[in-house]
Amino acid sequence: MSIFQKTQNVSQSNAVNKVIEIPICSIVPNPAQPRVIFDDYELSRLAVSIQQNGILQPLTVRRLENGISYELIAGERRLRACKLLNMSYVPCIIIEASTKDSAVLAVLENLQRADLNYMEEAYAIKNLIDYYGLTQEETAARLGIAQSTIANKLRLLKLTDEEKAMVLRFKLNERQARALLRLESGRRKGAIEHISANQLNTVQADRYIDELLAGKPKQVVKKKWSFKAVNLYINTFNKTIDAMKEAGINCEARRSKTEEFMEYVVKIPLR
């Protein structure tokens, strides 16, 4: 038996700031949800943890005007993991919040938990500013962030969509991505590849861009695959197999290795 009360057993006036169970089908996404990338592997691991240990931290929602639906404020990953488990109810804390407050809280919760990559943070801040007509100063005050930090994050959006995708795919950090703006757009893709291939740190990347601007570009060195890099992918594959087994999927994996390649044969039961 659940230790939480279900919504049908709790009046609207008594539900605020209490942990109650709400039907998943009654929870709607937050239109200001800043997180747009959800790792399937991490979601599956979270689902296994919830299946074994339950939800340790309730979701946060607000009741909508129709009185029967709830807008999610915090807990998008937990909600998605519960849907993977085909759960009917999830524990939630209902708070009183306006539409604007809900949007700010959704962004703030993700920023505080470091759940977003820096591009998602930039888009989330821009959406708040555009949708609610806030100034950078007002946004900084609401989020508890320095106005200069807001401005720096928004500058990242000057990169093209392709460049934004590349800096994330090649794992450049925020300062490296922002430094690329010193270059004209046509030179940025090559710079991204060079910084990644040579594993330049932030200071080295700044120096490399200085050299490009001074007309002294270094030749791009294509990085060869290292055994360590290959092992990272092998370990990720092994973790995926382990996660399926933890979830009760009786899969079988056989591995064979030659001088030239590693071969995996995986059998996953459909029932």
Residues in the chain: 271
Please, where in the chain does CATH 3.90.1530.10 lie?
A: 5-116
Residue-level pLDDT at 110: 64
Q: Which residue has the higher pLDDT, 130 or 88?
A: 88
Taking each helix axis as running N to C, give the angle between helix 185-197 and helix 161-169, from 0 to 180 degrees, rounded to the nearest 10.
10
Query: pLDDT band for position 120 (50/70/90)?
Result: confident
Q: How many CB atoms neighbour CB 197 within 10 A?
A: 14
How does pLDDT run across 185-240, given as a tens digit for each residue? 899 999 999 999 999 999 999 999 999 998 865 554 455 555 555 676 777 777 78
Q: Which DSSP category does 233 fall into?
A: H
Based on the number of CB atoms within 10 Å of its own CB, is 95 exposed (0-12), middle (13-18) or buried (19 or more)? middle
Does 149 score more than 50 pLDDT?
Answer: yes
Does 269 score more than 60 pLDDT?
Answer: yes
How does pLDDT run across 20-57, given as a tens digit for each residue? 899 999 999 887 666 666 678 878 888 998 998 888 88
Look up residue 46 and give its amino acid: L
Are 64 and 29 in contact by the 8 Å Cβ rule? The answer is no
- Active-site positions read 76
CATH 1.10.3470.10 fits 5-116, yes or no: no
